[in-house]
Each structure stands twice: as C-alpha cells, then as structure tokens.
Chain A
Amino acid sequence: MTRQVKVVEDVVIKFAGDSGDGMQLTGSQFTNNTALLGIDLATFPDFPAEIRAPQGTLPGVSGFQLRFSSKPVFTPGDMCDVLVAMNAAALKTNLSVLKKGGKIIANTDGFDAKNLRLANYPDGVNPLENGSLGNYELIKIDVTKMTRESLSDMTMGMKEKDRAKNMFVLGFLYFMYGRTLENTEQFLKDKFGKKPDILESNIRVLRAGYNYGDTTETFTTTYKVEKAKMEPGSYRSVMGNQALSYGLIAASQKSGLPLFLGSYPITPASDILHELARHKNFGVRTFQAEDEIAAITSAIGASYGGSLAVTTSSGPGIALKAEAMGLAVMLEIPLVIVNIQRGGPSTGLPTKTEQSDLLQAYYGRNGECPMPVIASSTPADCFDVAYEAARLSVQHMTPVILLSDGYIANGAEPWKYPVSANLPLIKTSFKTELDEGEEKYLPYKRDEKLTRPWAIPGTKGFEHRIGGLEKEDITGNVSYDPENHQHMVKVRQAKVDRIADYIPDQKIDNGPVKGKILVLGWGSTYGAIKTAVEDLLEEGYSVAHAHIRYLRPFPKNLGEVLKNYEKVIIPEINNGQLVKIIRDVYFVDAIPYNKIMGVPITKTELVEEIRKYL
C-alpha cells in the first residue's frame, strides 16, 4: 500500500490512561524522540492527586500533553489533535480538550463493562460503539490483546506482559509520525539491561505497535513535523526541576562553595532532592531532614559553615519554614529557598499548579522581614533563575526566595544548554583578615552593597556569636536599643532594595515599547502570554508583553515601563497577587485576570480577555 507523508506544522498529543498505564513514560519517550529531531516542543504532565487511585476511575487518570512544532513553541497547547485513551475514564476526562476532527486512539480493552461503569457511563453505553464520537476520527485498537499476542511464546505472567501495553501505543505513534525506534530501544536497554525478560517484552511490543501501524490499513497518511527554526546551537530536553538542580550545581561549581540541600519530601518539589542526591560526585550534600523546619534550619547551619545552602519545598512546607526564614534574615547569611508552588491553601491541590504564594514570599513572616524574590518562567529558565538566586544570595548575604510551580517543574522543553566556561563566575570571599584600623572582627559592619562580612567557623581570631535577637549595628551584639532597632529594620530593607543596582533592567519581551496595552506577567504564564500577545500583534493591535523575573526588588526601570502603556493587564493563576503589589508600589491601576483552577491559563482565553480592552 502506498502511503502519503503529510507535512504538518504543529501537533498536540495527549497521552491519557490509568496512573498504572505508564503514560508519563510513554509521553517522555515520545518527547525525547521528538527533541532529538530538532523539533521544538513543550510538555505538560498532569498527575492524579493519589499515587494509585482506584484503577479505571476518573480520579485515577494520568495525562501527559506534548506539543511539537516546526515553529517556536511556548506552551503545551490549549487543545489536542490526538488523544490516546487507554480506558474509558481517560476518554471521559480529556474529550473536552480534543479539537473537533481530532484523532482518538482508544484501547478497546479499556472500554469493557467494568471500565465503563468505573468511568460513570450509564449502563449499556459505550462511547466507542454508539456513534457519539462522530465528530472525531476514532481509531480502535485492542492494545491488551495485541500485546499479549506478541508475547504469546514468553513464559512471563499475564500481569507482567500487560505492563508492556504502553510500548504498543508508543510504537504505533512512532509509525504514525514517521519516527525510528532507536532512542527508545536504547532507553529500554539502559533501564532493563539486568532484566532480559522485561527488556525483550518491551522491545517486542514496541516493534509490534510500530508494525501494526505499518501493516494494517489504519492510515493512508503518516505525518511529519519539520525541524523548527531554532537558534543555532546544541540542545537537549530538560524539565524544570531538573534544570533548577543543574543551576544550583553550576552555581556551586562557579562560586567554589560546596552545595548543601536540606529538604523534606513534598509534591511537586521532591524531584530536586532526587536529582541533587544523584550528583554526589560534585560534592553535593543532600540531607533529607525529619521535617520542613529541620530542612531549612540544617541549611542555615550549613550556610553558617560556609556552604551554598539551599532548601526546597512547596507552599505548605514554606509556611512551616517561615520562622527560620526570619532567622536567616536576622543572621544575614546566604540561603536559597525554593518554592515549587502548588494549589493551596493548606494541602490544597498538591499535584496541580498555582501561583498563589507570591504574597507569602513577600510578606509571610513575622516582623519586618524583607527578602529578595525571583521567579522562573519556563522549564529551561529554571536553570538561569537558580543560578541567579545563588548569586544574589551569596553576594548580598541574604536568603533569597525562588518561585517556580508545578507546571514548569514537571514540564519539559528544548534547552540550549550553556557551556560551563561561559557561565559568569560567582565571586564571593570569606572574611579572613581584619580591615585596616579594625581591632576585632565586626560581623555587622557593612560594605557598599550594605552586606556584612562572612566569617566561617575554623577562622582563627574571628570567633563571634550571631542569633535571632536584634543585633547592634556593626558589632552584632544583642541590642534592645530603640534607635538601633529602627536603624537595623531600615538597613535590612535598604540592603534588599539596593539589589536593584545589581540586576538587569526590565525588558519588553514582545511588542511596542509604548502603546495601548501591556500584559505583565511572572512565572509560568510566560508561554500563554507570549503566544496571546503574538497573535494580537499579528492582528495589528498595540499590545506588548513584559515578564518579571525579579519580583523583589523590582528592576529600577519597571515604573517607567508601566507608564508607557494606557492599560496594564496582569494575568495570574491566583486571586490577584502581583496586581496588588504593582498597585501598591507604582500606583498603577492594573487590571487583574485570574484563573484559579489548578491548570495553566490558555492562550485562547487570554486573547479573548485582552481583546476586551482593545
């Protein structure tokens, strides 16, 4: 049979199945395969809250969305072209995001009476059979049967065999998009090298899926997405938490300070702990503490000892760390505090994304307790932001809060990774000599940045005591003096404010430098705002996009930037937080756009929203 290869520009696939169906692995394999071809992409894994919610049920559905394109990609896409539904629940929860005319690849075995009942379909209704999917192109495959058949001569148990089901789907999609199987076969060899049976079964089923596509007449057409026109250079695929971990390791190497991570497992931040724990060869010390408070206070101890100290968590854990964050402010020692935000308050939506901890980062501590805050906007950006957080922290002797969120933490994108020689050095030095005229070490004497000197235990003649009680200016002795307290409160604030002299100006990401509307964002809304503004610019509207990395202090020119537009719109995945601060600091009557559903803002809804003001 002759088949046509159709070149398409942009594809969004959603892999959906039971959380035990291996959809995350399938998705990430297809992602790597795509990335290696130089196609631009973005991913969005969507985990259920429970690790293993009852099989076949709606809450048990795990999804992985991948968008790939020959044009630059900034979001995983609003709607899908292809939906892989391993069972009835997966179809039901995801059908609303499938484009009309889109393809459904359905595993018919996942639509038996039991699965239909678990997915709350009325008795006797099977969407695959009743014509209700007429608006879509339905491809039905009994994946379970095919998998079993291709392994019929193997001795392993049925359950074991069924585990390879996801490989059938992956192989099938590889055929559909004209791919080769090499990188996945290599991956399987690395993963199951010591378990020859499992390796063999996975590879066989993968090939069976591919051949099924080839030999059956499912398609008259296969699809091809061309290489994207990306900046020349070498790329890899990277996930947010991974990039963040690499940023910390790089900062440790480039500052000469050993990396110490104090952390307590929490979704969606734990992957940073896992990643850093693997790189002990870089001298990384990871300490899985007994709780969130020990996680940050152990990091404070390590920082006191001269490490590049980090603690990682998510909202509820950050709340527990608040008192210790105040201690770090008082001690004026370096510390990077990473918050991978998730839906709140309380336990909230652990696996869903939200940007609702900005005000917590700004104000969530007792006393006047200022701290720099910076935020990452894409998975790859997590590298730069982590590096920058470390730089600010050690060069300005202050704890720094880094805000990321579940969406970018687990999302992947191509990363034009840096060469280490090109990374800026992070200059720091410990105090080992007295200044001229000094008789003894003065732990709270400040330099032009208003930072105090860092002397670490083991340095002879620099023995000193610090603590959480108010410090006397210069000497660091305990002081309850009223004037001194006022002075110290002001100087701690001034120290943080002065960081504005050491960060770049706010840039306009896209659009005119003066105009009708500025869409101002921070964090993971980057892709949605970027593409929404792009669309409106193409339509000829006067709209621009600026994305803030440095949230405290703001870049010095931000006030000027805001004045160049008639209106400022601030989209956020919260109930309006940056908008409060912008109004407070700049007296600008910014317009909030808020979505608080645990999912990213889409381009489509944002375009509609901005249009209202044009």
Chain B
Amino acid sequence: MTTNTVNPVQLTAKDFSTDQEVRWCPGCGDYSILAQVQKVMPTLGIPKENIVVISGIGCSSRFPYYMNTYGMHSIHGRATAVASGLKASRPELSVWIVTGDGDGLSIGGNHTIHLLRRNFDVNVLLFNNQIYGLTKGQYSPTSEEHKVTKSTPYGSIDHPFNPLALALGADATFVARSMDRDPKHLQAMLLKANQHKGASFLEIYQNCNIFNDGAFEIFTEKSSKSEETLFLEQGKPLIFGAEKDKGIRLDGFTPTVVKIGEEFSADDLWIHDEADIYKAQILVRIFDNPRAQQHLPRPFGVFYQTSRTCYEDMMAMQIEEAKSKKVADLDKLLRGNEVWTIA
C-alpha cells in the first residue's frame, strides 16, 4: 500500500518501539522481522499516528504490542476483516496486518482471500513458520505432508497450501516472498509492499526455533542458500547458484534449470516481468520440495504486481457521487413520499 504524507520530524527505528517487553522465544525469527519493520517505518514518510498495525492470534500476532503506532491485537483469524472495516472507513490511514500461517490461512483463510480480491490498500505480512507455535506445536496448513507433530503422531495427511498461489488465485495485486534471515531483502520487500497501491501480500519465511527449527534453513543457511534460492529482480533473467551460472528457462510452459555458458546464454533465460500474470502463475508454482531430486530453487522477491482500483476508493467515490446528487436531508428522509396529517 502507499500513503503520501510528509513527515516533518525525522523518526528513527527507536521511535517505533514500545515500553513493552518483547516476549517471543529467544532466537525466534519474529525478532528479525520486528527489527526490519521498525527500521523501514521511519523511511516511509508516514506520521506515526497514521499507522495502524492489526493482528489476529498466534505468536506473530503479538506484533502490535511492540510497535509504537496505533494497533489492535484482535481475535483469531480476523485481523484482515478488522482491517477491512478500518480501511474502508478511514482510507487515509496506513494499515498493516500481521498474521501467520494458522491465523491467515486456516481460521482466517476466508477473510484473507476476500481482502485480496477487494484490493484494500493495506499490507499483509504473513509470517509462515509452518507450525502452530502459540499452541505448542501442532501442524499448520502450510506444514509439509507426513510431518510428525503433537497432533499428527503418524504423520500429517493434509496437503499444504501454497500461500502465494492462493493469493494469486484470489486476484491479489501484489504477491511477494521474503525471509527472516535476510534483513536487506526483507526491508526491500517491506518497502515495495508499502509502495504498492492496493493489497500487498508478503509471505515471510520465519523460523520457529522451538517447534519447527530449521524448516527453511535450506533457503536461509549460507551453505545452501545460493543453490536453493532464486532472487527475482524486475527485468532481469532468472539466475541462481553460487557461481551465478545457473538459470531458469521456459521450455513451453515448463520452467527448467539450465547451465549458462554451455548450450544457453543469459539471453535465453526467463526474464522476470512482475506485470505478467501468466508467468506469475508459473512462478508461484515453483514450489518444489527442496529435498526432492531434480527440484527447482525456491523464488523470493516480487512475483507479481498490478494496479486495480481499491475498494475504499470506490466506496468513497460512490459516497461523493451520492452526496453531489442528493442533499443529505434527514427530515426529508424521515418524512418519505406519502404523508398524511391529523389535525
């Protein structure tokens, strides 16, 4: 989302932290995400009093208590719906939603897709740790199949969501992925999410070191990161690998890994275009199990971005139009068209 307001006093990250003790487990990925959000906030040029952070329930949803802005820690799954009402009635506010894989995709899945299709100009930060942390370790709708947890001693038989494919399916106008362990990238994605006018859906891989430690380490650890991840940049070819010697090429509709310099050069590769909805559909489907043979690297960055009129703007327009056509005359309304008088 975007809000164009000039901030007279230069704020710092510190101005965005509260006097409340942060209560996540030591080592939780949430700390890094909080730090990046607090770093990015002062650079947005939005007065603190115009920022509202709304969350649901879950570890991540503690977030508003630590942000010195307006905030609401609402109920499980409903942050997106609370935010919809706030944004519809106060379009000038900068509204940030903090949710998790359970909060935003399980109990609140319905509100998430409807918020995206309506395209409220808000930022959805979905912390995905592939587990229920607050309730101490049950599988979540993004947990991998066969996962053994407290509630799945014989392994999970649930097929997991692909959150970005879901968001795109709901006609989200901004779809991106980042990770807790890459502060620079995360900051860049937060900025882009904020710049986007419309609903921004940013999935953030977040490590729950207590109940699902290392779920994303293959993407985040130095030793494997460069081979297993693919960082998308607008207008650039899809290249990855420690030596930057591998790329993704579209073979028909199928993305395939090729070695650069042999049969193919960088010119033959898929050039990333955030505005291409068809390619975005393929891109979000690059979701291979990194432990599988012959898998593709996991993409990070902005997958898709387009502009579409926002719900709150259309709502305001209808109201302005109605006001210009018909004076708000309460007595006329109460009187109606057919009146009689008793003397």
Interchain CB contact under 8 A, A468 and B74: yes
Residue of A nearest to B53 (CB): A465
Interchain CB contact under 8 A, B85 and A457: no
B263 close to A (CB within 8 Å): no
B323 close to A (CB within 8 Å): yes
- Measured between beta carbons, the chain A residues less than 8 angstroms from B336 are 236, 238, 417
B110 close to A (CB within 8 Å): yes
Interchain CB contact under 8 A, A465 and B86: no
Interchain CB contact under 8 A, A298 and B339: no
- Top 7 A-B residue pairs of the complex, sorted by shortest distance between their CB atoms: A467-B73, A298-B85, A301-B85, A301-B86, A280-B322, A294-B81, A301-B82
B90 close to A (CB within 8 Å): yes
B88 close to A (CB within 8 Å): yes
CA distance A450 to B53 in the complex (A): 27
Contact of A287 among B70, B85, B321, B334 (CB under 8 A): B85
The interface stretch among A139-147, A154-162, A245-253, A488-496 is: A245-253
Interchain CB contact under 8 A, A463 and B70: yes
Residue of A nearest to B64 (CB): A465
A477 close to B (CB within 8 Å): yes
CA distance A282 to B333 in the complex (A): 10
Interchain CB contact under 8 A, A465 and B338: no
Given contacts A249-B333, A280-B318, A306-B90, contact A38 B85 (CB under 8 A): no
Question: Number of A residues contacting the other chain (C-beta, 8 Å)?
Answer: 72
- Measured between beta carbons, the chain A residues less than 8 angstroms from B111 are 290, 293-294, 297
Interchain CB contact under 8 A, A293 and B81: yes
Interchain CB contact under 8 A, B69 and A246: no
CA distance A394 to B271 in the complex (A): 56
- Measured between beta carbons, the chain B residues less than 8 angstroms from A280 are 318-319, 321-323
B83 close to A (CB within 8 Å): yes
CA distance A458 to B48 in the complex (A): 8
A227 close to B (CB within 8 Å): yes
Residue of B nearest to A331 (CB): B72
Instruction: Please provide the chain A residues from 185 to 240 with a CB less than 8 Å away from any CB of chain B in the complex.
Output: 227, 230-238
A461 close to B (CB within 8 Å): yes
- Measured between beta carbons, the chain A residues less than 8 angstroms from B328 are 253, 281-283
Interchain CB contact under 8 A, B75 and A324: yes
Given contacts A285-B319, A290-B110, contact A300 B326 (CB under 8 A): no
Contact of B334 among A289, A303, A418 (CB under 8 A): A418
User: What per-residue 1/0 map shows which CB atoms of A458-495 lie under 8 Å from chain B?
Assistant: 11111111111100000001100000000000000000
Contact of B331 among A281, A299, A419 (CB under 8 A): A419
Interchain CB contact under 8 A, A235 and B72: no
B68 close to A (CB within 8 Å): yes
CA distance A231 to B83 in the complex (A): 48
- Measured between beta carbons, the chain A residues less than 8 angstroms from B54 are 301
CA distance A196 to B47 in the complex (A): 58
Q: How far is the CB of B331 from chain A (nearest CB, A)?
A: 5
Given contacts A262-B85, A281-B323, contact A38 B340 (CB under 8 A): yes
B222 close to A (CB within 8 Å): no
Q: How far is the CB of B329 from chain A (nearest CB, A)?
A: 9
Given contacts A324-B75, A324-B78, A420-B331, contact A301 B20 (CB under 8 A): no
Interchain CB contact under 8 A, A236 and B338: yes
- Measured between beta carbons, the chain B residues less than 8 angstroms from A301 are 54, 72, 81-89
Contact of A294 among B110, B327, B334, B339 (CB under 8 A): B110
Interchain CB contact under 8 A, A309 and B334: no
B34 close to A (CB within 8 Å): no
Residue of A nearest to B73 (CB): A467
Given contacts A183-B338, A260-B88, A462-B49, contact A294 B114 (CB under 8 A): yes
Q: How far is the CB of A519 from chain B (nearest CB, A)?
A: 29
CA distance A302 to B64 in the complex (A): 18
Interchain CB contact under 8 A, B334 and A246: yes
Interchain CB contact under 8 A, A235 and B339: yes
Residue in B20, B49, B318, B325 with the greatest tally of chain A CB atoms within 10 Å = B49
A291 close to B (CB within 8 Å): yes
Given contacts A231-B342, A280-B319, A283-B319, contact A300 B334 (CB under 8 A): no
B201 close to A (CB within 8 Å): no
Given contacts A298-B82, A301-B84, contact A460 B72 (CB under 8 A): no
Interchain CB contact under 8 A, A291 and B74: no
Interchain CB contact under 8 A, A300 and B74: yes
Given contacts A235-B339, A324-B78, A467-B74, contact A460 B89 (CB under 8 A): no
User: What per-residue 1/0 map shows which CB atoms of B49-93 lie under 8 Å from chain A?
Assistant: 110101001000000110111111111001001111111111011
The interface stretch among A29-37, A48-56, A555-563, A597-605 is: A29-37
User: What per-residue 1/0 map shows which CB atoms of A262-292 lie under 8 Å from chain B?
Assistant: 1000000000000000011111110101110
